[in-house]
């Protein structure tokens, strides 16, 4: 009888710990949206150009330390400069990417992380003057990296702030700060 009771107790403990571990390690999918304050910095320009974008994201928490995320966004705020009768405008057409987020779980609502992934984006420059206007678009892709933090408001609602280096080429770079939120389900 004692052996049977010990065996039943051991099985109950093993199955309970397995359920807790499965729940802690289970995937938790999420969707979210961010506003991106994007900066375009080119070697030949004196000033940085500020653009704005709205982006959406979908992701899944693979384990407490790693998440996988896909993002897509489009420009909503362009930069315009003029000199006399000539004006120039830079706009962000789109930005898409896939990222791995590596975080540090802790006892607070704040979850700091680093992001590493790949981004592709397209910019369009338009110059207008008395003789008409001309536009040129260019798309580029690059390895991307950044740091951020999620702040849990509830079990399902998270606020987010992040800095990302989206594209870093010899002649120019595209980076930005974003703020937003996610819903986990």
How far is the CA of 8 from the CAs of 12, 14, 19, 107, 169, in angstroms?
A: 6, 10, 17, 34, 63
Q: Is the pLDDT of residue 4 over 80?
A: no
Q: Give residue for tokens 């996988």.
A: 68
Query: What is the four-CA torsion angle of 22, 180, 147, 70, rounded to 10 degrees?
Result: 60
Residue 148 lies in a domain: yes
Residue 7 placed within a domain: no
Q: Is the pTM of this model over 0.85?
A: no
Rounded mean pLDDT, 150-156: 94
d(CA 71, CA 160): 14
**Residue 2 domain-assigned?**
no
Total structural domains within the chain: 1
CB 147 within 8 A of CB 160: no
> Is residue 85 domain-resident?
yes
Q: Which residues 6+ apart lie within 8 Å of 146 measured at CB?
A: 114, 115, 162, 163, 164, 165
Q: What is the CATH number of the domain that holds 44?
A: 2.40.160.20
Ramachandran angles phi, psi of 158, nearest 5°: -130, 135
The answer to the question of residue 59 being in a domain is: yes
Domain extent, residue 136, equals 27-184
Question: Would 51 be classed as within a structural domain?
Answer: yes
Using alpha carbons, list the distances in angstroms from residue 177 to 25, 34, 70, 97.
Answer: 30, 10, 17, 15
- φ/ψ of 48, rounded to 5, equals -80, 150
Is 10 a domain residue?
Answer: no
Q: Kindly report, residue by residue over 66-125, the tens digit of the pLDDT.
A: 999 999 999 999 998 888 889 899 999 999 999 999 999 999 999 999 999 999 999 999
Phi, psi of 154 (to 5 degrees): -140, -175
Is residue 129's pLDDT more than 50?
yes
11 within domain boundaries: no
């Amino acid at each position: 009888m004692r052996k049977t009771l010990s065996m039943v107790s051991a099985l109950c403990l093993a199955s309970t710990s397995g359920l807790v571990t499965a729940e802690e390690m289970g995937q938790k999918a999420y969707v979210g949206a961010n506003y991106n304050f994007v900066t375009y910095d080119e070697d030949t320009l004196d000033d940085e150009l500020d653009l704005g974008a709205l982006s959406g994201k979908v992701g899944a928490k693979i384990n407490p330390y790693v998440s996988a995320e896909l993002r897509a966004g489009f420009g909503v705020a362009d930069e315009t400069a003029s000199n006399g009768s000539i004006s120039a405008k830079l706009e962000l057409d789109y930005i898409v990417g896939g990222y791995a987020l590596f975080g540090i779980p802790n006892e607070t609502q704040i979850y700091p992380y680093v992001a590493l992934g790949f981004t592709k984006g397209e910019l369009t420059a338009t110059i207008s003057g008395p003789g008409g206007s001309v536009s040129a678009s260019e798309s580029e892709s690059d390895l991307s990296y950044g740091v951020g933090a999620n702040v849990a408001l509830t079990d399902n609602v998270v606020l987010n702030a992040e800095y990302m280096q989206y594209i870093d080429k010899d002649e120019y770079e595209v980076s930005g700060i974003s703020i937003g939120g996610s819903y986990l389900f």
